[in-house]
Structure 1
Amino acid sequence: MASSSSQPFPPHTGNAPGRTALVTGASSGIGAATVRALAAAGFRTIAAARRVDRLQALAQEVGGQAVALDVTDPESVAAMAEQVGDVDVVVHSAGGALGSDTVEHGDPEGWKTMYDTNVVGVLRVHQALLPGMRRGGNAHVVVIGSIAGFEVYPGGGGYTAVKHGVNALVRTLRQELLGEPVRVTEIAPGMVETEFSLVRLGSQEAADKVYDGLVPLSAEDVADVIAFAVTRPPHVDLDKIVLRPIAQADAAHVHRA
């Protein structure tokens, strides 16, 4: 029997032609990079987000489709599902963090907003698209989580609580869809330089300080891993992928030059 090591790794295009991938939160950051990576891998792409002007430019760039989507609005989710029809891959990238207060001073409304976007938003989109994904016979659910889904740090109580919820949701889906032709993958990045910190901290100066003295992951780094995961053979499910910059050991330990 030939050793498996003698076989080359399949290219990113190996399991993509003819398949359709929808990416939420696709107007910037990891979502936009993922649309580009999946288009390059041979997928027909659908970019979904609230900022439709950005989506249209992205869709034109990659030859895909743009669709308006607010994952916190059930009517928007229903309209999106009706517009796109059946899809094979869904990458849940819509999300984000608000604030860095201690639990003692946390804003309950901010926590609710994060939960609605990061957790309930995945629920809404998943429920709307799963029937069509089942019909395709080779479906894949990808959820962008975070190392905050299994680690904690001071000032991150709201975000880590939410991402722990995302982690639990994905693991539950994996069990509930067992036996069906639907793969489930959680992507859990560490420090990634996107608009994330700007939105969370409210100023460019504060956002820049997050990455002082190190080289963080880029959105393209994460998108490349997503493209790899969804182009594996249909019997291969990468349950959870954790990726960090080399300068980060965990949420609390970072080496800065």
Structure 2
Amino acid sequence: MKKIALITGATSGLGKAIALTLAKEGYYVIITGRRKGKLEELEQEIEIKYESKVLSLCFDVRDYSQVEKAFATLPEDWKKIDVLVNNAGLAVGLDPIFSGEVDDWERMIDTNIKGLLYVTRTVSPIMVERKSGHIINIGSIAGKGVYPNGAVYCATKYAVDALSQGMRMDMLPYGIRVTQICPGAVETEFSLVRFKGDKKRADQVYVGFENLVAEDIANAVLFAVSQPKHVDIQDMLVMPTAQASGSLFHKE
């Protein structure tokens, strides 16, 4: 039987690349996100390119009732999820703590922490019952070191780091692997969202060095899930060669 992978935040960027990569490797994929049109486009792309089975779930990870409702509608043969990729996340704003917008903080906390918890709480009991599964949390270099004006976003990614460690302990008796993958600078919609649609400002983030692309992180996910069952890649930091920390780059 084919393995099933569920990827949150699959409408663009890392999530889309991860879904395509796993489908190419023969996984059946459940793709989730808030933009129904984007999910439908990805569903068609996967079916045409890889002739793999795909199921779309349109919901907001920040709303636990939506998460519960979406998973309650899963057909029985889609419920045995082997791999959960908690990818949905975002940064909003780049401001010092004394002038940050509270709405930005709440969006980051609700998506990056609560969303991850809500989906994990819904999916992991299936894995516990089967004593099998792999949870992959997409963290960030921002969860390894804080940078100026990013305190709240960094705090949410530090939370992902702590949650990944705690999950690993809780899942240990059930043979469930937990991996955290922490990207550095990846050119996706990330900066465009952070700067609230200001494309000029977003594009400047990636000037002067060769950044990561979404497929680099998708390949890291594939590497983690491809290991034999007795091997758990627990924590992976993936950076551009030109980046040494969250804020230190060598730019030409």
- Normalised by the size of structure 2, how large is the TM-score? 0.93
Counterparts of residues 115-194 of structure 1 (less than 5 Å): 115-194=109-188
The secondary structure found in structure 2 opposite 1:254 is coil
Shift of 1:50: 0.7
Question: Residue 30 of structure 1 corresponds to which residue in structure 2?
Answer: 14
Deviations 1:136-163 (A, max 9, x none): 4430000110010010111111111111
Shift of 1:70: 0.8
Contact 1:97–1:200 (Cα < 8 Å) also in 2 = yes
Identity over aligned pairs, percent: 41
Question: Residue 112 of structure 1 corresponds to which residue in structure 2?
Answer: 106
Change (3 A) 1:134 1:60: farther
Output the amino acid matched with 1:198: L
Question: Residue 4 of structure 1 corresponds to which residue in structure 2?
Answer: none
Q: In the alignment, does 2:213 pair up with 1:218?
A: yes
Q: Distance in 2 between matches of 1:60 and 1:78?
A: 25
Query: Quick check: 62-71 or 118-127, which moved more?
Result: 62-71
Q: In the alignment, does 2:191 pair up with 1:197?
A: yes
Matched pairs, number: 241
Question: Residue 7 of structure 1 corresponds to which residue in structure 2?
Answer: none
Counterparts of residues 27-106 of structure 1 (less than 5 Å): 27-63=11-47, 64-84=54-74, 85-106=79-100
Shift of 1:238: 0.5
Q: CA RMSD in A?
A: 1.2
Q: Distance in 2 between matches of 1:222 and 1:214?
A: 18
The secondary structure found in structure 2 opposite 1:207 is helix
Question: Residue 251 of structure 1 corresponds to which residue in structure 2?
Answer: 246
Q: Distance in 1 between matches of 2:105 and 2:161?
A: 17
